[in-house]
Structure 1
Amino acid sequence: MQSTPDVMALAHRINPYPLYAELRRDHPVCRVEPGGLMAISRYKDVEYVLKHPELFSSHGLRVAWQPEWVGDNPVAQSLAASDGEEHARLRSLVSRAFTPVAINRLDEKVRASAARLAEGLLARGESDFMEEFATPLPARAISNLLGFDPALERHYKRWTGVIVGVTPVPENEEHVSRTRDTIAEMKRYVQQIIDARRSQPDDDVMGLIVKGGPNGQRPSNQEIIGLAFTLLAAGLETTSFFFAHALRLLAERPDVLERLRADRKLLPKFIEEMLRYNGPIRGLPRIVMADVELSGVRIEHGACILPLIASANRDETRFPHADRFDLAREQTGISFGFGSHYCLGAFLARLEAQAGLDALLDRFSGFSLIPEGVVWNRSLVTSGPLKMPVRVLPV
């Protein structure tokens, strides 16, 4: 292994698992590029970091999402990048909209959207799976939930791609201008929504946020914009990449596809194992709040670390035959986090996954990828394709 591996190198974005295995074995805590982050690769250490926010602050996401070259980025001041009382206060503004009862009300709409999109794939025969299914399905769900104009859904992927595509060092000047312009565009739109909800209250998520918390606390404009940014990015990016990874596995493992088509009761198991085996979350940057030691390596107060969720989910000491996709596996991964930072949208993500996979299994007996057309994202937090051409085989 090179002395300072680049976790953003294309080969590692496409398939990071050989590097992660080497890190777990030989360098469980080591410096990586970009930005000289300290990567944490073993399950026990990643779990410890996520369970102790008092020692490992989510403000690390502020460092990751708002380097100096970006300027103001509201998502860096929001829910995912906060801790303690601030996190609890912001979470209380939206938690009512993410209960199982509230999310189940979307089930019929999500299934109808999935059916229409799957019919579109069927009619085309060959198309970009990201553009035609994996992105628009969660986009429509998040529009319904937040109360955004559905006409703007075509912009969501571009918006969220820019947000999570922030890196410690920009790729070039075009990357700088694209990022700043897109954030400004998003801020203008969300401000319009805020103004509309203040003049005409609604019971969608944006209406709840603008109204304020159960104790009458009113969030600032900056906090509302940050919450909207976070919910949009989290609700779209991770779910779209889940579908991409799931379809890729089904294309490579027709035996798994046949088992699912024969027995839909296996779908919940498939979803949990897919999240562990090749989920959409790469890592979650944190700031070390006191000198600490992990796997025999001392990390100083103030260091920025990168707990590698995807590596922890392949740790052989936690998951027997971790590199094997196993529908009978009992252990689940840690893709949704722990404790106060457990993913607010986990129930919605599972609902969308079940509905989307059902729609695909109803109509297709096979999938084949077109590798030369795949384009991968560039992000410290998420991992997946921006474009993924696919051919479908009807039932």
Structure 2
Amino acid sequence: MKTKQISKKNQDLLLSAPEFLKNPYPFYEEMRSANPILKMSAYKYSGWYVTGYDEAVTILKNNKFQNRTPLPPTTRKYEELKTIQDNMLVFKNQQDHKRLRMLMSKGFTPNVIDGIRPYMEKIALELLTQAKVAKQMDVVSDFAFSLASHVIAKLLGVPKEDRNLFREWTIELIPTIDFTRSRMVLANGNDVIKDFMMYFKGLINNRRQQPQQDFISQLIKDEQEGDRLSEDELLAACILLVIAGHETTVNLISNTILTLKNNPEQLVLLRENPDLIEPAIDEVLRYESPTQLTARVAAERVEVAGVTIEQGEQVYIMLGAANRDPKQFKNPAQFDITRSPNPHLAFGSGSHFCLGASLARLEAQVALQTFLESVECFEVDSEGVQWRKLVGFRALETLPIILECEK
């Protein structure tokens, strides 16, 4: 099967245009119209860009496509950053991935997730109560990030006074795995990883002496009982939980508030039918996927949908594009909180399906329910809405809102 080509000029414009950050979906449509598996280059990253839903599912479920670390294996720079990334679950394959996933999954059992719900509800209500007094807030920093920080700190057993460290560290690290990264971003990320490692080494040593009912103590217990977990893997697991627990949840909560405000008829429908909160969150996951891109590398020559992908070639699965494929979703550009079924790929598919999906879903549901119950009316300060300059994530920088409206 021959693929149509997009001109080199248009390739560069597709993912680097300022308009892409505000609304990437027309760009995805152009790519899909050329071919749902398109060979091109963006930000000097050459490979196969997948925008079709069926093609994305096929690749995500095929073990011939493996995870790859963001930094090349041959790099000698950014040593600490590379060490941690190399030991993260999300970049592991086959047996190492299976082993680490089994160990980390103990921190995401239904009992653990259900047990933390009352704490989520308490913190969400406290944050919104404070915001209502001020009559304004930035949804990203004052609500979504604060809630995520409390929850992750609770799961990890991090002292309350230390949780504010996570915001700066997380914001510095996410760009290190994005197409937009620069040498400065990687250098800053390496410095942040050093701070992260030093902090968690101290906390891990404390938990070895004084175990608690938390994620770190559970991993140490497994290690002491014979499960193979290196020191770097233990550090990487803690750091991954902080990064993923913030990035996905913060983006999801913030995107939810903005999307509902931009679709007032759906907001009214949700207020009248609060039982639609769960499908509403799933529709936001499809419509404005927090993670827009995931990468794989072909372990051998593979044919997908008539396209031959050679061993070693890079494959970039555009989750945000697949979730708006008209072949899979009727009226994909329409935000519909009653959409059913809704088999979106926001959390991936196959053996690498997001381990923290249930936690992210619950946190977003609690945040939205508490918001609707606490805030009768709000307005978005549209001039203050800013998107982060990232290709792989649909992430708001700021979302200022006013918590009162003219009657």
Q: Report the TM-score, using the length of structure 2 for normalisation.
A: 0.90
| CA distance 1:215–1:284, change in 2 (3 Å) | farther
SS of the aligned residue for 1:105 comes to helix
* Equivalence for 2:195: 185
Q: How many Å separate the matches in 2 of 1:67 and 1:94? A: 28
* Equivalence for 1:328: 338
| CA distance 1:95–1:213, change in 2 (3 Å) | farther
Q: How many Å separate the matches in 1 of 2:145 and 2:238? A: 18
Matched, 1:315 2:325: yes
Q: How many Å separate the matches in 2 of 1:81 and 1:243? A: 25
Figure out how many residues of one structure are paired with residues of the other and give that number.
Answer: 393
Matched, 1:164 2:181: no
Matched, 1:337 2:337: no
SS of the aligned residue for 2:297 comes to strand
| CA distance 1:27–1:343, change in 2 (3 Å) | same
* Equivalence for 2:26: 18
Q: How many Å separate the matches in 2 of 1:84 and 1:235? A: 24
1:1-395 superposed matches below 5 A: 2-3=7-8, 4-5=11-12, 6-28=14-36, 29-34=38-43, 35-52=45-62, 54-58=63-67, 60-63=68-71, 70-73=78-81, 74-167=84-177, 174-212=184-222, 216-332=226-342, 333-393=344-404
Q: How many Å separate the matches in 2 of 1:21 and 1:363? A: 38
Contact 1:277 1:313 in 2 (8 A): yes
SS of the aligned residue for 1:38 comes to strand
Alignment deviations for residues 205-249 of structure 1 (CA, whole Å, 9 cap, x no partner): 011112225962241111011111111111110110011111111
Contact 1:61 1:285 in 2 (8 A): no
Residue type at the aligned position of 1:254: P
Bigger drift between 209-218 and 298-307 goes to 209-218
Q: How many Å separate the matches in 2 of 1:170 and 1:348? A: 28
| CA distance 1:335–1:388, change in 2 (3 Å) | same
SS of the aligned residue for 1:36 comes to strand
Q: How many Å separate the matches in 2 of 1:66 and 1:327? A: 46
Q: How many Å separate the matches in 1 of 2:94 and 2:281? A: 31
Contact 2:178 2:391 in 1 (8 A): no
- Percent sequence identity is 27
SS of the aligned residue for 2:137 comes to strand
Contact 2:70 2:177 in 1 (8 A): no
SS of the aligned residue for 2:376 comes to strand
Alignment deviations for residues 110-136 of structure 1 (CA, whole Å, 9 cap, x no partner): 000010111122122222211100111
Bigger drift between 225-234 and 194-203 goes to 194-203
Contact 2:176 2:186 in 1 (8 A): no
Once the 2 structures are TM-superposed, how far is the Cα of residue 283 of structure 1 from its aligned partner? 0.8
Q: Which sections of structure 2, spanning at least 5 residues, go unmatched?
A: 1-5
SS of the aligned residue for 1:366 comes to coil
Contact 2:52 2:321 in 1 (8 A): yes
SS of the aligned residue for 2:332 comes to coil
Q: How many Å separate the matches in 2 of 1:257 and 1:135? A: 22
